Structure 1
Amino acid sequence: MPRLSFFSRIFRLTAVILCVFSFGLLTQAEAQTPTPEQIEMFRNLPADQQQAILDSMNRGGGTGGLSLPSGTDVRSDRKVQFPQTVKPRGDEEEEEKFDATGAPVLPRFKGGDTLLLNLEVRQYQRQAPEVEERARREAQQNSQPRIPGRQAASTTPPADANAPAPAEQQLLDRTPDETARLEEFRERILRRNPYKLDKWGILNVPELGPIPLAGLLPDEATQRVSAELRLKDFIVVVTRLPLKPTGAEALKPFGYDLFAGSPSTFAPATDVPVPAEYVVGPGDSIQVLMVGSNKGRYSLTVGRDGRINFPDLGPISVSGRRFEEVRADLEERVRDQMIGTQASISIGELRSIRVFVLGDAEAPGSYTVSGLSTMTNALFYSGGVKKIGSLRNIQLKRAGRTVSTLDLYDLLLRGDTSGDLRLLPGDVIFIPPVGATVGLSGEVRRPAIYELKNETTAEQLLELGGGLLPGADPSMATVDRVNEQRQRITLDVNLAKADGRRMLLSSGDRVRVPAIRPVLEESVVLNGHLHRPGEYQYKPGMRIVDLIPSLDELEPNADQQYILVRRELPNDRRVRIFSADLEKALAQPQSAANFELAPRDQLFVFDRESGRDRIIEPLMRELQMQSRIDEPTLEVSVAGKVKVPGKYPLEPGMRVSDLVRAGGSLDEAAYSGQAELTRYEVGPNGARQAELIQIDLRKALDGEPGSNLALKPFDYLVIKETPLWASQEEVEIRGEVKFPGRYPIHRGETLRSVMARAGGFTDLAFTKGAVFTREELKERERKQLATLATRMESDLAQMSLMSAQEAGRDASQALTIGRSLLSSLRDAKPAGRLVIDLDRSVAAREGSEQDIVLKDGDRLLVPRITQEVTVIGEVQSATSHLYRTDVSRDEYIALSGGLTPRADENRVYVVRADGSVVARGGNSWFSGGGVAIEKGDTIVAPLDTERMRPLPFWQAVTSIIYNLAVAAAAVSSFQ
């Protein structure tokens, strides 16, 4: 029987633990309350088992533990209370969250969110009116009830699925008026993007009316907006923009983030020192260590009557007394009444007390806390103060009276905890609504919304905000206020003066302190391609070389001759552009090239490689914006053979040589003899006229006044190219020549000349099989192949359609052959081969027809002596044979297995080794001797295409494919 009782207890303990853990694992966001049956099971367990379950819950961590109703007596010997679980309050800013599966949780729409509304017109076709009316009537008939067991007779004969639809059933496109109306409606909607939800989360679109979206996900919001009747012709997409508020909207109430991450459970501290002023009460444990005649260690618990039972001394009243008094009294009693014995008194386990946190707390209610807890401890347990609650007037009520008021600003701003009193049983912490609030934004150390208590002036508000930042401009501060007429007004206040600092504030004011102007005074700015860009102090008389004392300050490849200077004139802030020649300024510091700078000048050093548009274009826009009818845009242009052509600012006193310097100087291909300057001016008749001026560029660069003209707005300088200047051309000679390789050529050089430079042929050269290719011929062949392929695709489609329409016609074989030819045509690579007689070209006279003029990219490939004859096309086995003088063309074909049934035996032709084609009609060419076969020849047996109408040009296609294959094989033999 005892053994059975033991197993029964183990079973009950296991069941309760499983119940507890099942509730603890359900969620970590909020506590789980067990059922009364589970509480009863827990209450009936022995104390050690109850403690084991509670310890296992505490070790589980997190916020997903078991929560019993406050005040539930779960033990038979002692009352234990579980504090309410409060969810930690984090930062108000959005953070990426994940669900249990690890997928990101999308945020839902709320008031103040920003979204993009995108509309696309549906690709829609409407039916003819007759069809719509017929569909409506059929829908009405189908909706009528039918008699059970009977089937409605159909008056419409069954439709043939393959029969074409009647004309009235065809779908009609939207009319132009409908399309224009929808596009106009779409533009009106998109023009107002982005949209912002009001504080209730409602989307207000004038054309649609209010649409509530609060609490919806983006996909759900898209479905909700799409449900609007006026959007039935559109595809709607709603996109949420995670924008953060700026300015006054971004201000947060000060101090409330103190409670971010508040503890969700409360474990009383047992290892902290107990102060001497601690008031002992029922539930406290007093530790007694006795030494001397009577030795012993005792733990005495203060009973409900406020007394302890001291060994050998009897009951002693200690409740309501400070711990320091209790210790002195007990030690004195032991010393006086127990001769030869001394006692050491300390506090053991502290009692738990019940307090109330009420008012505007995150989780108001009753809390069981440690006896050492203070007001702030209780506030943390309750989750902190709501945004509508006061941080500066938190009241501690005891026995119906307010005994203290806590101002959390003292703790946050000055670290003062004097108002944070220790709690007693039954205390009430009451949080009243927030008082007057004033916002402080801009260049202050702690921008926020502050609650006012005794502060009434702007100066006191600045003290709450930590003072001004170094970049603040207090003289330009403003106050946004709602006046007595409930109108929002703005007041200027000079916080740099005493009168402005003494300005009285009202609840709801927003004080904004702007930053000083970002413009640098008494300084110059250095930007661009140099080692140390930045702002530098301006000194009177400062010149270019004072700011850039050496070329070592520039990065490699920086333009030393054209440094741009942007200057604002002090009287009207108009922009003027200058340029500096740093190389000349460093060489001649006393010359005008080293001109004096002015405050707020900006210097730009250019990189020769990356271009100048990124800097030049914004400056040109500035000059264009400040132009007037009497002062045109100060711009000039340079084009042609300069390194950086384009538009440039017209500087005061700018000449032709300065414009060439601005363009990065002359290019190597520039013609220095003559340039053209086009000048645009308004003539006497009021029309714009162009004047062409010839410039002697060499004299202009030397500084001769007659050629180095002063420029005017919109002048256009063109630098010509040196005659016959071009990039270096070269050709390639490979194969059986004495000196193969790549040879640069001059304009008009011929093949005979280059072959002489290559040393002539070797003794193994097969000149009749030479392959000469040219790039422009290759490009021409590529275009022809594309044209033939397009035409062939069209003819194949036509042939397929005709065969489908003509009954009994079978063109499957022709279509198969055609598609095969089309695929081969698409895959064919242009060779660009030019048929030449190499021997005659090398021996030709200068200027004769056989003296080939070379072009850039030409290639001459001279093979070795060959002894093969190749047979390709419609033969049984396309292969090569050893050349024999006594073998004819037909015999070579016979050696390849003979012709196939698809071959055209009347059009067999021969491609010579030099690329030329020998073809004869009829059979006479093949009778008797005919044309003899030579070494390197290729015999081609074409496809018989005359039987495959209506594609008469297939014969030409097959010839092109075979000839390209022969040429490609000849070229590839040199790879």
Structure 2
Amino acid sequence: MRTTDKLSRYSQFINPFYLGLVLLLLTGIQQASAQRPRSRVDQLSDEDVQNFYRRAQASGLSEAQIEQAAMSQGYTLDDIAKMRKRINEIRTLTSLPQNQTANSTGRTLPYDLSSRVDSVPGRNVRKDTSRGLPVFGASLFENANLSFEPNLRIATPRNYVVGPDDEIRIDISGASTGEFQLKVTPDGTVKVPNLPPIFVAGLTIEQAEQRIIARLRQGGYQGLGQAGSGTTANVTLTNIRSIRVTLVGEVVHPGTYTISSLGTAFNALYLAGGPNPETGSFRKINIIRGNRVIRTIDLYDFILRADQRDNIRLQDQDVIRVADYETRVELTGQVRRPAIFEVLPGETLKNVLAFAGGFGDDAYRASITLRRNTTRERRIVTITEEQVASFVPQRGDKFIVGKILERYENRIQIAGAVMRPGDYALEPGLETVKQLIARADGLRKDAFTNRATILRERADMDQENLSFDLGKLMRGEIADIPLQRQDSLTVLSIRDLRERYYVTIEGAVNNPDTVDYINNMTVADLIAQAGGFQEGAKPNLVEVARRIRQDSSGVRTTILETYRFSIDRNLQITSLESNSPEFRLQPFDIVYVRTSINYEAQKQVTILGEIMQPGNYAIYSREERISDLIKRAGGIKPEAYISGAQLRRQGQLIGNDLRNALNDPSAEENLLIQNGDTLLIPRRSEIVTVQGGVLNPSSVSFKSEYNFNDYISEAGGFTENARKNKAYVIYPNGRKDRTHKFLFFNSRPQVEPGSTVVVPFKPLDTNRLTAAERIGIFSLLATVSIALVNVLVR
């Protein structure tokens, strides 16, 4: 048999509706509809409805009073239905924490739960910003991912105390079946159809289950829940009631909060923002029930050891009081968690170090520096390692853990020509130079044993150098030298006492280079290491240049020695002089491999334009000239403009007139061609360009009857600042011709097709006087003249 209470069925929809509606009545829609027609729910924005819903939670009016007041203010049943629909839609879209619906277990939370204060727009939890160090534990309640909300998917705790608004579901199966959804009424009872009310308020869920099953047996379910009866009952808690708890004292946001009846102390503290980091205690948080402290919470137990024994489940009207802190100290420096810690009576500095996670890896543990406040000033206290366990901190203490020095109490070093250079410990069995060398696996073969040095630190931290004959020490001819802390022994290598030995190969080899010298290296070895001969190499002439090492009296006329060899491409060497074929290279030798006289890589030129066969052509002779190249290219085309032919060498235009070169191959204009030259023979250009000091610089068509002045006229004539006598013409072949002056006559250059006429500008006269300056000077001269005349007359 299934029973359903209509009021409980629709309470999840009615409650949010009435909460929103009451705010409309209390505020008179002051903010939401001040500029809109009154009493229409669909004119409110979603934000208005959300704000009304949150602020209406503390109204205190009953549902009947709210509905009656709404009707008296002109709200119709349609308005009431719209408000219910709007609240349900917004609840689904925004997923507000207080509007959680049933989860997979079928259990739901009430809709009037409080939200964390900083989740409300415009309000933020106050954080500790007054100190440089964080208060230990304050970040616990600033983490949005750590809300301590109860888990609805767990089984109902057997010690859960039933109260009004809880909903209990009873499923009967077996020989008899039935299902009951029972809501605990405000007077603490549940109503089973055809049975007297059953009082369950104040009982645990286990006790309530036993009482309900006993009453069902009396109502017709014989043997229910008894062994052998074949009928079983399953009692679960579905909808959970809300409870109100009050947080007072030094919390970030004190007040009364509505939480789930499964909520715990940490859940309530999180909603209120936790203890105030500036004044609140994290270790003395009292839970008061019935004017009696039932539990004192120390948050350090949870933070440091994950101990949740004090995180008890709250009951309706519980009070959580956060006391003021009594003693706080700062711990900084080389510890794992520098912070401000709260200290309880009886705790020592050792406990504070444990709160901070202990010393850091580089901490100086022999002593800790304390800065303590006195009644008038501060003083420094040094706490030794033995005093840490018994030292009692006081309010305002600042402990500083220093860092160990970059020094070693027993280090000695060895470097240079030993097998294992590095740092070693000065200890019994390793106290002398010979013992240190033995520990480093002995000397290398290149060790210079005539002298070794010890760099030693003196008492005043200055350094001194101790030199000795290492060979004699190793042979026992002199006494072994005892070592001291911070001694550094250096054994030189014979390579450290000479220049770097190298040999060089240059010329026609594939990889010319300078390489390290190797004993017994021959010329052929070096050529092989350089990648062998190039194609154009002349192997029968290889030269070696050698420094002169022997000292002699006087100054020699020769500054080096040379040796010549013939080497075939199989690297078989033959001396060209009286040198031995077994010739060996010495340090700093330079080997030169010459190139064959007639060997040259291909060189080419490019000819383009109005030519019979344009393209790239190889230079076959050192005497090949421009006219020869044009003949090889098949000659020029009839429309070619020889006067405008351009020769470019390394990108630069070479001024040259090819007409003379073609008419007379012996003419000086018939230049020798070089690698990379480009010869362009264009078509005749019909344009003449006028630039520079003319009124209208432009390009005009070429006219055979025009002279220089005609083209200037075509460009509008000279400007005032034009240098007429310096005008010149640039011909298309790169040559230039300027204006020539004889007495009072100017001889202008000839203009050809494709030419450019250039008229330079006069330089700017920055020293030229202005009109006002000239008038002033004339006035001064006139005054001086009049004065002189008067003097002469008198």
Contact 1:909–1:920 (Cα < 8 Å) also in 2? no
Contact 2:137–2:282 (Cα < 8 Å) also in 1? yes
Instruction: Quote the offset at 1:417 in angstroms.
Output: 1.7
Cα distance change on mapping 1:880 and 1:430 into 2, 3 Å: same
**The one of 79, 101, 118 aligned to 1:88:** 118
**The one of 338, 342, 359 aligned to 1:468:** 359
- Quote the Cα distance in structure 2 between the aligned partners of 1:568 and 1:742: 73
Q: Counterpart of 1:340?
A: 222
- Quote the Cα distance in structure 2 between the aligned partners of 1:543 and 1:838: 90
Partner SS, residue 432 of structure 1: strand
Cα distance change on mapping 1:896 and 1:34 into 2, 3 Å: farther
- Quote the Cα distance in structure 1 between the aligned partners of 2:487 and 2:260: 66
1:456 aligns with 2:347: yes
Q: Counterpart of 1:301?
A: 183
**The one of 244, 247, 259 aligned to 1:369:** 259
Letter in 2 for 1:284: D
Partner SS, residue 393 of structure 1: strand
**The one of 4, 8, 21 aligned to 2:46:** 21
Cα distance change on mapping 1:328 and 1:44 into 2, 3 Å: farther
Cα distance change on mapping 1:500 and 1:865 into 2, 3 Å: closer
CA RMSD of aligned residues (A): 6.9
Partner SS, residue 212 of structure 2: helix
Letter in 2 for 1:331: I
Contact 2:280–2:322 (Cα < 8 Å) also in 1? yes
User: Where do 1:526-925 residues align within 5 Å?
Assistant: 540-541=436-437, 570-571=457-458, 757-763=622-628, 764=630, 891=705, 893=707, 900=714, 915=735, 917=737
Contact 1:283–1:351 (Cα < 8 Å) also in 2? yes
- Quote the Cα distance in structure 2 between the aligned partners of 1:335 and 1:302: 20
- Quote the Cα distance in structure 2 between the aligned partners of 1:370 and 1:476: 51
User: Where do 1:127-138 residues align within 5 Å?
Assistant: none
Q: How many residues align?
A: 544
- Quote the Cα distance in structure 1 between the aligned partners of 2:321 and 2:749: 121
Contact 1:836–1:914 (Cα < 8 Å) also in 2? no
Instruction: Quote the offset at 1:458 in angstroms.
Output: 1.4
Contact 2:262–2:314 (Cα < 8 Å) also in 1? yes
Deviations 1:315-353 (A, max 9, x none): 333332322223234334544674634152333333322
Instruction: Quote the offset at 1:703 in angstroms.
Output: 10
Instruction: Quote the offset at 1:872 in angstroms.
Output: 6.5
Deviations 1:450-474 (A, max 9, x none): 1112453211111112222333332
Contact 1:276–1:324 (Cα < 8 Å) also in 2? yes
1:427 aligns with 2:318: yes
Cα distance change on mapping 1:835 and 1:83 into 2, 3 Å: same
Deviations 1:604-624 (A, max 9, x none): xxxxxxxxxxxxxxxxxxxxx
Letter in 1 for 2:117: K
Instruction: Quote the offset at 1:252 in angstroms.
Output: 0.5
Letter in 2 for 1:255: G
Letter in 2 for 1:315: P
1:415 aligns with 2:306: yes
Cα distance change on mapping 1:897 and 1:468 into 2, 3 Å: closer
**The one of 273, 279, 288 aligned to 1:383:** 273
Contact 1:86–1:264 (Cα < 8 Å) also in 2? no
| Structure with greater proportional helix content | 1
Cα distance change on mapping 1:568 and 1:52 into 2, 3 Å: farther
Bigger Cα displacement from structure 2, 274-283 vs 312-321? 312-321
Q: Counterpart of 1:503?
A: 391
Instruction: Quote the offset at 1:412 in angstroms.
Output: 1.5
- Quote the Cα distance in structure 2 between the aligned partners of 1:338 and 1:945: 125
Letter in 2 for 1:762: S
Over alpha carbons, which structure has the higher Rg? 2
Q: Counterpart of 2:291?
A: 400
Contact 1:88–1:262 (Cα < 8 Å) also in 2? no
**The one of 281, 284, 296 aligned to 2:163:** 281
Letter in 2 for 1:352: S
Bigger Cα displacement from structure 2, 397-406 vs 346-355? 346-355
Cα distance change on mapping 1:523 and 1:315 into 2, 3 Å: farther
Partner SS, residue 498 of structure 1: coil
- Quote the Cα distance in structure 1 between the aligned partners of 2:440 and 2:616: 54
Deviations 1:423-444 (A, max 9, x none): 2222111111122111222332
- Quote the Cα distance in structure 2 between the aligned partners of 1:449 and 1:876: 85
Unpaired runs of 5+ in structure 1? 1-8, 67-79, 91-98, 101-109, 113-198, 200-248, 527-534, 550-566, 578-597, 604-650, 670-697, 708-730, 744-753, 779-829, 845-849, 882-889, 952-975
Deviations 1:906-934 (A, max 9, x none): 999888878464866689999xxx99999
Structure-1-length-normalised TM-score: 0.42
Cα distance change on mapping 1:537 and 1:393 into 2, 3 Å: same
- Quote the Cα distance in structure 1 between the aligned partners of 2:165 and 2:729: 120
Instruction: Quote the offset at 1:937 in angstroms.
Output: 9.3
- Quote the Cα distance in structure 2 between the aligned partners of 1:25 and 1:548: 85
Q: Counterpart of 1:352?
A: 242
1:314 aligns with 2:196: yes
Letter in 2 for 1:349: N
1:253 aligns with 2:278: no
Cα distance change on mapping 1:294 and 1:300 into 2, 3 Å: same
Partner SS, residue 321 of structure 1: coil
Letter in 1 for 2:70: M
Contact 1:88–1:260 (Cα < 8 Å) also in 2? no
Bigger Cα displacement from structure 2, 41-50 vs 346-355? 41-50
Contact 1:902–1:944 (Cα < 8 Å) also in 2? no
- Quote the Cα distance in structure 1 between the aligned partners of 2:93 and 2:77: 21
Contact 1:83–1:266 (Cα < 8 Å) also in 2? no
Contact 2:368–2:399 (Cα < 8 Å) also in 1? yes
Partner SS, residue 470 of structure 1: coil
Structure-2-length-normalised TM-score: 0.51
Instruction: Quote the offset at 1:300 in angstroms.
Output: 3.0
Deviations 1:868-893 (A, max 9, x none): 99977599985568xxxxxxxx8564
Cα distance change on mapping 1:831 and 1:349 into 2, 3 Å: same
Instruction: Quote the offset at 1:375 in angstroms.
Output: 1.6
Letter in 1 for 2:378: R
- Quote the Cα distance in structure 2 between the aligned partners of 1:906 and 1:513: 90
Contact 1:440–1:510 (Cα < 8 Å) also in 2? yes
Contact 1:283–1:302 (Cα < 8 Å) also in 2? yes
User: Where do 1:104-119 residues align within 5 Å?
Assistant: none
1:59 aligns with 2:84: no
Partner SS, residue 273 of structure 2: coil
Contact 1:436–1:451 (Cα < 8 Å) also in 2? yes
- Quote the Cα distance in structure 1 between the aligned partners of 2:552 and 2:70: 112
Instruction: Quote the offset at 1:945 in angstroms.
Output: 11
- Quote the Cα distance in structure 1 between the aligned partners of 2:177 and 2:42: 43
Deviations 1:278-327 (A, max 9, x none): 22233333333345676432233333443334455523333323222232
Contact 1:410–1:416 (Cα < 8 Å) also in 2? yes
Cα distance change on mapping 1:706 and 1:325 into 2, 3 Å: farther
Instruction: Quote the offset at 1:602 in angstroms.
Output: 14
Letter in 2 for 1:760: R
Deviations 1:120-157 (A, max 9, x none): xxxxxxxxxxxxxxxxxxxxxxxxxxxxxxxxxxxxxx
Cα distance change on mapping 1:923 and 1:519 into 2, 3 Å: same
Partner SS, residue 327 of structure 1: helix
Letter in 1 for 2:44: C
Instruction: Quote the offset at 1:368 in angstroms.
Output: 2.4
Letter in 1 for 2:204: R
